[in-house]
Amino acid sequence: MDFRQTLLVFISLFSLTGFSQTTNQWEEAFRQWVEAENMESSSLEELYDILSERVEQPINLNQATREELEQLPFLTAQQVEQLLEYTDRYGPIRSFGELQMLTAFDTERRQLLMYFTYVGESAFKDNRLRLDSVIRHGKQQLLLTGKIPLYTRKGDDSDYLGQRYRHTFRYQFNYHDCVKFGVTGAQDPGEPFFANQNRWGYDHYSYYLQIKDVGRIQNLCLGMYRVQLGMGLIINGGFYLGKLATLQSMGRSTAILRPHSSRSTEGYLQGVATTIRLHRNWELTAFASYRPLDATLNKDSTARTLYYSNYHRTTTEMAKKNNTHEIDLGGSIGWRKGTLYAHANILYTRLDRRLIPQKENAPYRRYAAEGKDFLNMSVDYGYTNVKFSFSGETAVNRQGALATIHQLSYRLSPAFSLMTLHRYYDKRYTALRSQSFSEGSGIQNEHGIYFGLTWQPSNKHTINWYADYTHFAWKRYQVSMPSDAFDTMISARTLFNSKWKLEGRYRLHIRQKDNTEKTMLSNYIEHRAHLRLYYDTTFGLSLQTQFDGISVSFREHARGWMTSEQASYQWRWLQLSANAAYFHTDNYESRLYLYERSVLYNFSSLMLYGKGLRYALMVRTDIGKHLLLIAKIGVTNYFDRARISSGLQEISGSSMAEVDMQVRWKF
């Protein structure tokens, strides 16, 4: 037995206790990112869907490609490079304990990686696909999900066109991660089913076929798919998490082409897309798309705004459905040699209606996207080694306006990393499908600098900190002159032992807004604090106690706090999850967010304000290897109101409850 084999035996034996978990740590990490950013974007739901699917279909770590590893948002560029280099140099990884030999990986990343990957022998790697093998050895699953509200909204009586139930189906076929096919149907409460414009049943369908690694074709997507190029300055149908996650991934730039399998209607393309290996160092990505959009129209039938709410419950909302169409043509040609890379990217978009946003009495919209044809071009580039990482992208639109972003990270030691990120987005820069690092709501009218550090003084202690300053040269919504923003956060985590863990977080966010007379700017100051204590037992029980607080100062002072408890228990084929939260806030400005476990592929982040109590219970049972049943009931009781919400969403009463049910059949 050589030295490496002897070392691996000891590492593997030592890691058996270190990696045993009774809770899904990836969900807790996801929860931390969500709560830290207070995010309500649909991109979070999309990312949760991707990670949930990857848990169900993990990657063979010994066959993982760069693209597959880059879909895991918690990995840094150095970690991806070191992992690929290690398997290339030393051959297949024999156990997860071997990852301790990779200096770029800390304990948390190694544990997170275990949920999305597995270590095994090389399974399927053949550029000759046989239809009979695909059909005979493919794995299938059917997922049915429903939500039943135990209340009635005002619109349910007459205004909504459909029933008050939400339901989806999801069919997937997978052959060695080389051939994927799927169909998803989604229906929101109040939308007609097999009626009105939904004569084919569900309000929204997504469908896709993906074929990978066949000859020179690295990736081929038919149907609905998502594209991300560079750092997202011209197109990002992938995901963006926020400032804390950017620090943890060290601002990694990535290129993603993947099928669209979720219920979301935002960010996807429809048609064909492919990535082709031209040469050992060169590859080409090209895509063509034609898809319908919802739009709010002006009186002359031009489009005022593109509408992504995905609701078609009333006659007015249904009239907007698919009333506009979009063509997207684009691609990227890239060169990579080792850890040095560069890509040239282009995107052309054409709408069948002219986009004319309403600018009267809204001077902040002066430079909003306008027209029928849009052209964006960019180059992205980067270099990574074991300590140093640099990446960036520079883009222009048809008018020559510039957007550019660059990040630089450096590992001073295995325990200490620094990162800085600079971005400049011209006020005249427009790109309909862009999404990247920003303080504002889009890639426009922003100039900022971001600093962050990660310090792990020991395996039991981790500290993250960032500070971000932004200047807006043009007016913004509720801001009638140039303004600034400052955002800083510090988070810390301590592992007392294998059972106890404590984490805390504090965030200060300062933005400028108009005063009441609109004569000068006043600071909108927001303080948020978070503290959570974990406890895991040896018999399957996990407990979490959490406290959240907020203080907001602008035209008046508002405060809020919330305390919550979550318990999870797992025994063989049965899993139980329960949580309860009491919240007490002065108003909507002091709202708080509660992440809650739910059924598969369902992202649940609740916004709570006022005074009340939220509690939920979820039961999950696996019947053999093929059948899974999940049921959840959640209740929100308000103590400060007799009616919940307003308009057609109004509920007569102070309590609302809903039941979620899900069935999954693998065959």
And the tokens for 416?
Answer: 């200490």
Q: What was the pLDDT predicted at 23?
A: 45
Alpha carbon of 172 to those of 53, 59, 71, 206, 505: distances in Å?
A: 10, 17, 19, 12, 39
Q: Determine the average pLDDT of the residues in 341-368.
A: 93
Model pTM score: 0.88
Tell me which of 54 and 488 has the higher pLDDT: 488
Q: State how far the Cα of 434 lies from the Cα of 241, in Å rounded to an integer.
A: 14
Least Cα distance to 56 among 24, 101, 94 occurs for 24
Q: What is the mean pLDDT of residues 516-535?
A: 93
* Residue 359 near residue 366, CB atoms below 8 Å: yes
Greater pLDDT, 169 or 20: 169
pLDDT at residue 125 greater than cutoff 80: no
Q: Which of 16-25, 369-378, 515-524 has the lowest mean pLDDT?
A: 16-25
Decide if 235 contacts 433 (C-beta within 8 A).
yes
Taking alpha carbons only, the member of 242, 234, 539 closest to residue 397 is: 234
Buried b (16+ CB within 10 A) or exposed e, 52-61: bbbeeebbbb
Give the tens place of pLDDT for each residue, 332-341: 999 999 889 9
Residues 586-610 have a mean pLDDT of 90
Angle among Cα 575, 36, 541 to the nearest 5 degrees reads: 20
Q: Which amino acid is at 133?
A: S
| Gyration radius (Cα) of the chain, Å | 25
Q: Assess whether pLDDT exceeds 90 at residue 37.
A: no
Pairing of strands 651-652, 611-623: unpaired
- Residue range 112-124: mean pLDDT, rounded: 76
pLDDT digits (tens, 9 = 90+) for 543-559: 999 999 999 999 899 99
Model pLDDT, residue 127: 53
Mean pLDDT, range 373-400, rounded to an integer: 93
pLDDT band at 41 (very low <50, low <70, confident <90, very high): low
pLDDT at 190: 93
pLDDT of 80: 84
Question: What does residue 73 show for φ and ψ, rounded to 5 degrees?
Answer: -70, -15
463 within 8 A of 492, measured Cβ to Cβ: yes
Distances (CA, A) of 114 to 95, 104, 178: 10, 16, 21
pLDDT band at 15 (very low <50, low <70, confident <90, very high): very low
What would the pLDDT profile of 207-259 be if each residue is shown by its tens digit? 999 998 888 999 999 999 999 999 999 998 766 667 777 776 665 666 678 89
296-307 exposure pattern, b = at least 16 Cβ within 10 A, e = fewer: bbbeeebbebbb
Give the pLDDT mean for 321-346: 94
- Residues 300-312 have a mean pLDDT of 88
pLDDT tens for 42-51 read: 556 777 777 8
Q: Distance between CA atoms of 523 and 512, rounded to whole angstroms?
A: 5
Q: How far apart are CA 303 and CA 573, in angstroms?
A: 53
The pLDDT, as a whole number, for residue 13 is 34
For residue 183, what are the CA distances in angstroms to 142, 186, 219, 241, 264?
A: 10, 10, 19, 26, 13
Ramachandran quadrant class, 38 (left: phi over 0; alpha: psi -120 to 50; beta: rest)? left
3-state helix, strand, coil in the chain (%, to 5): 15, 50, 35
**pLDDT tens digit string along 440-487?**
878 999 999 999 999 989 888 999 999 999 999 999 999 999 999 999
pLDDT at position 7 over 50: no
